[in-house]
């Protein structure tokens, strides 16, 4: 057995030598990398028109890498990217109002069917092209033709859009739509010339517009916003660089570079090692809390325009009885839910999230009152034999925290004699079962919210007959009077009158108890307040999907990272 020892060792020794050489090469490479990174001056430190940019990269995780095509993106990451890369005619404020953006002025015809916008002059796209009214018309036509993303906000209403000259856009509507101006925060303006130069004849085709630049716009931009896309990998991250030629200038300490990463299993390690400065909201709440308790970290709870609804089937026994529904809403322990299960969230007050403009503030916040619930259920036609009518409750298996909500509900209902059959269902099964009245459960817990900055958005999508049979309505209201009231409110041009109409609709819905308003959803994230001064975390959120991440209004202090230890 020892015969080959010496030469075997020689052979192994040679292999070892090869390994050592490779390792040495790697060490040289890594050293070269360090030398190159330490000797290269930081990028994007050029001075700006109004404020010096902060060097370094602000990194934030989201649920996914954004889809930054204005005709495609509509989720949180996509909406955040679009808000930064593209300009819109109007811009939302934290007060729930609109301010001028590309539109310096506008007139609305008395019938509410014609909108005439004056477009800001001198605005440059990231490639140096000048923005004109025809770009606005092109962007709307592209959005409604492709029919994805936020197209649904405009497609039912737009009759025509024309650029009468380089600074004037005229939009004609098929029917009056009161919140039209508000919805325009979702019309992102592209550079027509640049998009047309990048249209290709592969993928989905749109006649002479070929693919409308869709493939190119997934990883590039044709915008004029405060940031441009500097690098994109649809599997990992998208990087944005501050646009120093932005028409509204730059802000002091505005981050020069921002990286939006798709949420990873490594988010905790990345945040703890300060490689990301703001986490996504999709980590388990206990994880967010743990991260926020780290050195220099803080918890941000930010209001959204979403609400957790326990949708009650008004066509199935026993929830077809209004007294049963009312008693259920009185019996639920809301404080236990917001304090123990969905911590950071707030009690709801009616069918519209409280942070949404147009919410009826006269509707009381949801609260438990078991004694009152017992009195109410005694008036029900099912009183005395509720045991014969078990309540079927669906919770969505993809959201584990909803199980606790379901169990809390079952426990509370037991106190008023209602038996609850808790069923875990995959989302696609929930969608399929809600499509038919026969298969729809008595109760299902679903989070839903507004698409634009007004109560009308929720009232229309949740409670009109148009949404019956979709996941947005298990109530099966099918109430033509209510449909008319919502439609009438939406077509009201005067905002004050429209909000009053919204309030009336909310009261009417509330009095029928079709829904248990569990809580207003607040998103929780961990962040480093000394490193990034974030308006949304400081009590000035813009509760419209994506607009809490308008990077131009961030202040970034990368030098503070070293102080975190």
d(CA 524, CA 520) in angstroms, rounded, equals 13
Whether 270 contacts 276, CB under 8 Å: yes
Q: Which is nearer to other proteins, 56 or 417 (CB)?
A: 56
Is residue 560 within the footprint of other proteins (CB under 8 A)? no
Q: In the complex, what is the shortest distance from the CB of residue 268 to other proteins, in angstroms, rounded to a whole number?
A: 9
Q: Which is nearer to other proteins, 24 or 159 (CB)?
A: 24
Q: In the complex, what is the shortest distance from the CB of residue 296 to other proteins, in angstroms, rounded to a whole number?
A: 17
d(CA 78, CA 56) in angstroms, rounded, equals 23
First to last CA, the chain: 56
The only residue of 262, 358, 417, 441 in contact with other proteins, by rule CB under 8 A: 262
The only residue of 110, 122, 207, 265 in contact with other proteins, by rule CB under 8 A: 265
Whether 392 contacts 441, CB under 8 Å: yes
Is residue 317 within the footprint of other proteins (CB under 8 A)? no
b/e map 174-193, b = 16+ CB within 10 Å: eebbbbbbbbbbbbbbbbbb
Is residue 33 within the footprint of other proteins (CB under 8 A)? yes
Q: In the complex, what is the shortest distance from the CB of residue 441 to other proteins, in angstroms, rounded to a whole number?
A: 24
Is residue 31 within the footprint of other proteins (CB under 8 A)? yes
Q: Number of helices (H) and strands (E), helices first, in the chain? A: 16, 17
DSSP calls for 459-482? HHHHHSGGGTTSTT--S----HHH
Q: If binding means CB under 8 A, how many residues of this protein chain bind other proteins?
A: 56
Is residue 159 within the footprint of other proteins (CB under 8 A)? no
What are the percentages of helix, strand and coil residues in the chain, rounded to 5? 35, 20, 45
Q: In the complex, what is the shortest distance from the CB of residue 551 to other proteins, in angstroms, rounded to a whole number?
A: 16
Q: Counting Cβ atoms within 10 Å, is residue 347 exposed (0-12), middle (13-18) or buried (19+)?
A: middle
Strand partners, 392: 421
Beta strand segments in 86-129, E: 90-92, 98-100, 103-108, 114-119
Is residue 10 within the footprint of other proteins (CB under 8 A)? yes
DSSP calls for 403-429? HHHHHHHHHHHHTTT--EEEEEE-HHH
Q: Which is nearer to other proteins, 35 or 159 (CB)?
A: 35
Binding mask 72-111 for other proteins (x = CB under 8 A): x---------------------------------------
Is residue 259 within the footprint of other proteins (CB under 8 A)? yes
Binding mask 206-225 for other proteins (x = CB under 8 A): --------xx--x-------
Is residue 264 within the footprint of other proteins (CB under 8 A)? yes
Is residue 67 within the footprint of other proteins (CB under 8 A)? yes
Q: Which is nearer to other proteins, 109 or 263 (CB)?
A: 263
Q: In the complex, what is the shortest distance from the CB of residue 19 to other proteins, in angstroms, rounded to a whole number?
A: 5
Q: Which is nearer to other proteins, 204 or 361 (CB)?
A: 204
Residue 138 phi, psi dihedral angles, 5° rounding? -60, -45
Is residue 542 within the footprint of other proteins (CB under 8 A)? no
d(CA 57, CA 240) in angstroms, rounded, equals 9
Q: Which is nearer to other proteins, 142 or 359 (CB)?
A: 142
> What stretch of H or E contains 449?
strand 443-449
Tokens of 240: 């944005």
Tokens of 53: 């940019």
HEC string for 265-323: CCHHHHHHCCCCCECCCCCCHHHHHHHHCCCCCEEEEEEEEEEEEEEECCCCCCCCCHH
Is residue 20 within the footprint of other proteins (CB under 8 A)? no
Identify which range of 66-74, 154-162, 282-290, 399-407 contacts other proteins by CB under 8 A: 66-74
SS3 81: helix
DSSP state of 174: S
Is residue 244 within the footprint of other proteins (CB under 8 A)? no
The only residue of 48, 59, 144, 380 in contact with other proteins, by rule CB under 8 A: 59
Is residue 234 within the footprint of other proteins (CB under 8 A)? yes
Q: In the complex, what is the shortest distance from the CB of residue 240 to other proteins, in angstroms, rounded to a whole number?
A: 13
Q: In the complex, what is the shortest distance from the CB of residue 22 to other proteins, in angstroms, rounded to a whole number?
A: 8
Is residue 204 within the footprint of other proteins (CB under 8 A)? yes
Interface positions with other proteins (CB under 8 A): 1, 3-8, 10-12, 15-16, 18-19, 22, 26, 28-37, 40, 57, 59, 67, 69, 72, 202-204, 214-215, 218, 231, 233-237, 257, 259, 261-262, 264-266, 269-270, 272-273, 275
């Amino acid at each position: 057995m020892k015969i080959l020892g010496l030469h075997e060792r020689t052979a192994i020794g040679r292999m070892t030598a090869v390994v050592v050489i490779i390792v040495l090469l790697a060490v040289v490479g890594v050293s070269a990398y360090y030398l190159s990174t330490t000797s290269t001056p930081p990028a994007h430190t050029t001075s700006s028109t109004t404020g010096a940019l902060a060097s370094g990269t602000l990194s934030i995780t989201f649920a996914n890498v954004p889809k930054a095509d204005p005709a495609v993106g509509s989720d949180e990451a996509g909406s955040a990217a679009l808000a930064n890369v593209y300009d819109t005619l109007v811009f939302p404020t934290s007060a729930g109002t609109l301010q001028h953006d590309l539109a310096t002025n506008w007139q609305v015809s008395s019938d509410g069917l014609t909108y005439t916008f004056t477009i800001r002059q001198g605005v440059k796209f990231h490639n140096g092209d000048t923005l004109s009214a025809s770009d606005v018309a092109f962007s709307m036509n592209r959005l409604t033709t492709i029919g994805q993303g936020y197209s649904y906000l405009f497609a039912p209403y737009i009759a025509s859009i024309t650029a009468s000259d380089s600074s004037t856009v005229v939009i004609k509507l098929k029917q009056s739509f009161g919140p039209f101006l508000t919805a325009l925060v979702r019309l992102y303006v592209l550079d027509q010339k640049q998009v047309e130069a990048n249209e290709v004849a592969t993928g989905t085709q749109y006649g002479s517009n070929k693919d409308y630049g869709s493939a190119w716009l997934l990883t590039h931009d044709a915008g004029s916003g405060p940031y441009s896309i500097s690098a994109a990998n649809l599997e990992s991250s998208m990087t944005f660089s501050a646009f120093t030629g932005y028409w509204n200038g730059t802000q002091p300490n505005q981050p020069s570079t921002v990286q939006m990463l798709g949420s990873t299993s490594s988010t905790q390690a990345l945040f703890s090692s300060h490689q990301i400065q703001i986490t996504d909201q999709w980590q388990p709440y206990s994880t967010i809390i743990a991260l926020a308790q780290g050195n220099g970290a803080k918890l941000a709870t930010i209001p959204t325009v979403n609400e957790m609804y326990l949708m009650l089937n008004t066509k199935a026994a026993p929830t077809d009885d209004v007294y049963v529904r009312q008693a259920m809403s009185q019996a639920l322990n809301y404080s236990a839910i917001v304090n123990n299960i969905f911590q950071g969230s707030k009690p709801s007050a009616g069918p519209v999230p409280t942070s949404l403009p147009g919410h009826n503030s006269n509707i009381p916040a949801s609260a438990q009152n078991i004694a009152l619930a017992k009195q109410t259920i005694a008036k029900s036609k099912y009183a005395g034999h509720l045991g014969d009518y078990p309540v079927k409750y669906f919770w969505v298996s993809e959201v584990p925290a909803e199980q606790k909500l379901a169990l809390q509900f079952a426990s509370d209902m037991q106190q008023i004699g209602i038996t609850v059959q808790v069923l875990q269902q995959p989302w696609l099964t929930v969608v399929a079962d809600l499509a038919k009245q026969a298969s729809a459960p008595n109760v299902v817990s679903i989070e839903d919210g507004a698409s634009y900055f007004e109560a009308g958005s929720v009232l229309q999508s949740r409670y009109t007959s148009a949404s019956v049979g979709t996941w947005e309505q298990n109530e099966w209201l099918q109430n033509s009077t209510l449909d008319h009231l919502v439609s009438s409110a939406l077509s009201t041009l005067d905002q004050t009158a429209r909000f009053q109409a919204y309030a009336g609709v909310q009261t009417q819905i509330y009095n029928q108890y079709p829904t248990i308003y569990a809580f207003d959803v607040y998103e929780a994230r961990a962040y480093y307040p000394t490193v990034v001064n974030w308006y949304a975390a400081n009590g000035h959120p813009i509760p419209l999907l994506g607009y809490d991440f308008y990077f131009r209004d961030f202040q970034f202090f990368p030098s503070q990272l070293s102080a975190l230890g």
